[in-house]
Amino acid sequence: MWRIIHQFGSPKGFYDFSARLQPWFWAAAVLLLLTGSLWGLLYAPADYQQGDSFRIIYVHVPAALLAQSAFVGLAVAAVIFLVWKIKVADMAASVMAPFGAAMTFVALFSGAVWGVPTWGTWWVWDARLTSMLILLFLFFGIIALRGAFTHRDSGSRAASVLAIVGVINIPIIKYSVEWWNTLHQPATFSVTERPSMPAEMWMPLLLMVLGFYCFFIALTLMRTRNEILRRESNKRWVRELVRGQ
C-alpha cells in the first residue's frame, strides 16, 4: 500500500502514470462538453419565465461548482503536501489555483450577464454572487502569496497554510453572507434556485458539470506534468527523458 502511494507520489511515478490517465480524461471531457452543449443549447426547452436566457445556466452552474471544488482540491493538496511532504501535491496545487480563479471569474461573469435580463442590472448583492466574489479574492491571495516568496519551498508551504485557513473559513463566509443577504433583501428571485427542473433541462446540466470536472482533472494532470519538468529539470530521469526524444 505504502509502496504504491510512494510510487504515485514521486514526481517520476506521477509523470508516467498521468501520461496514461490523461487521454481518457480529455476524451471524456470533450465528449461530455460537446453533448452537454448541443443538448443544452439546441434541444433543452426554453424556460417559461426566463426564455432562452436560462441557457446561461449550463456554463454558470458548472463553473461555480468547479471553482468551489478547486478550492477544496487546493486545500486537500496542501494537507498532503504539508503532512506527507509529497511534492507532487504542491505542484498540483500551484496549477489548480489559477484555473480555479479563472472558473470563479467565469461564474461571476456569467452571473452578471445573466443578471441583466433577469434582474435588469449587472450586479446584485445576491448571496451566491457575493460569496463567489470573496472566493475570487481568496484565490488571488493564495496566488499572490506563492509568488511573493523568492524561495520556492517557503512559498509553497505558506500558500498551503493559507489554503487550509481559507477552506476552513469558506463555510463560515458562505453562511454569514447568506444570513446577511436574507436580512437585507428578503425573498429576492434567485436565478439558480427553481422549484423543479424537467429532466430535459437538468440532464444537459449534469453532463456539463461532469464535463467541466473531467476538463479540470485533465488540465491539472497536464499542467502538473509541466510543473514536474520545470522543478525536476536537474534530475537524471528528466535528462534521460529529454535525451531519449
Partner 1 sequence: MMAFDSVSSFLAMGGYAPYVWAAWGVTLALMVGAVLHARAERRWLLRDLHRRERRQANAAVGNNSNAS
Partner 2 sequence: MREVDLAVLREPGGGLVVAWMATLRRDLMLRLRRRSEVMNPLVFFALVITLFPLGIAPKADLLATIAPGLLWVAALLATLLSMDSLFRADFDDGSLEQLMLCPQPLALMALAKVAGHWLLTGLPLALMAPLLGILLSLPTGSYGVLSLSLAVGSASLSLVGAIGAALTVGLVRGGVLLSLLVLPLYIPVLIFGTGAVQAAVAGSDVAPHLAILGAMLAAALMLAPWAIAASLRISING
Where on the chain is the footprint of partner 2 (CB under 8 A)? Answer: 82, 134, 137-138, 140-141, 144-145, 148-149, 151, 153-154, 157-158, 161-162, 164-166, 168-169, 172-173, 176-177, 179-180, 183
Q: What minimum distance in Å lies between the beta carbon of 219 and partner 2?
A: 25
Q: For residue 73, give the nearest of 103, 31, 116 by alpha carbon.
A: 103
Q: How far apart are CA 60 and CA 69, in angstroms?
A: 14
User: Looking at beta carbons only, is 57 or 162 nearer to partner 1?
Assistant: 57
Least distance to partner 2, CB of residue 178, Å: 10
- What are 118's three cell numbers? 433577469
3-state secondary structure of 47: strand
Which cell goes with 173? 463566509
Q: 87-119 and 199-231 helices cross at what angle (nearest 10)? A: 140
Q: Tell me whether residue 146 or residue 225 sits nearer to partner 1 (CB atom).
A: 225
Q: Cβ of 122: how many Cβ atoms within 10 Å?
A: 11
Q: Which does 94 bind (CB under 5 to 8 A by kind): partner 2, partner 1, none?
A: none
Residue whose CB is less far from partner 1, 23 or 168: 23
Pick one of partner 2, partner 1, none as the site partner of residue 225 (Cβ within 5 to 8 A by kind).
partner 1
Contact at 8 Å (CB) between 178 and 18?
no
119 binds, among partner 2, partner 1, none (CB under 5 to 8 A by kind): none
CB 9 within 8 A of CB 86: yes
Give the residue with the Cβ less far from partner 1, 152 or 230: 230
